[in-house]
Amino acid sequence: MRYIDYGPGFGMMGAGLGLGFGVGTLILIAWTLYWKGKALWRAARLGHLEWFIALLIINTAGLLEIAYLYYFTKSEKAEMEVVSDKEKKD
């Protein structure tokens, strides 16, 4: 097999992407795993099976997970805290 030298920037990472592409990808993966973990934990604790499955399957770089945590479960989290406070008093 013959090697063709296309010049700088055309190596193992493709056309001029270089190290920044790998670092950016790692940051995106860490961001996604953080939010996905928090959202899956909350869905499991609240018993939201449909949300748990959707959050597990759909990858949106953390956007769906953030929406679930701060928009869809805000009132239920407050209710859960009130119930746990009543249990502590008893």
**pLDDT at position 17, please?**
55
**pLDDT at position 80, please?**
61
**pLDDT at position 1, please?**
61
Name 17's Cβ contacts closer than 8 Å, sequence gap at least 6.
none
36, 52 Cβ separation under 8 angstroms: no
**pLDDT at position 41, please?**
94
Which stretches in the chain have pLDDT values below 50?
none
CA atoms of 27 and 75, how far apart (whole Å): 31
**pLDDT at position 23, please?**
82
Geometric angle at alpha carbon 79, from 48 and 62, rounded to 5°: 45
pTM of the entire structure? Answer: 0.62
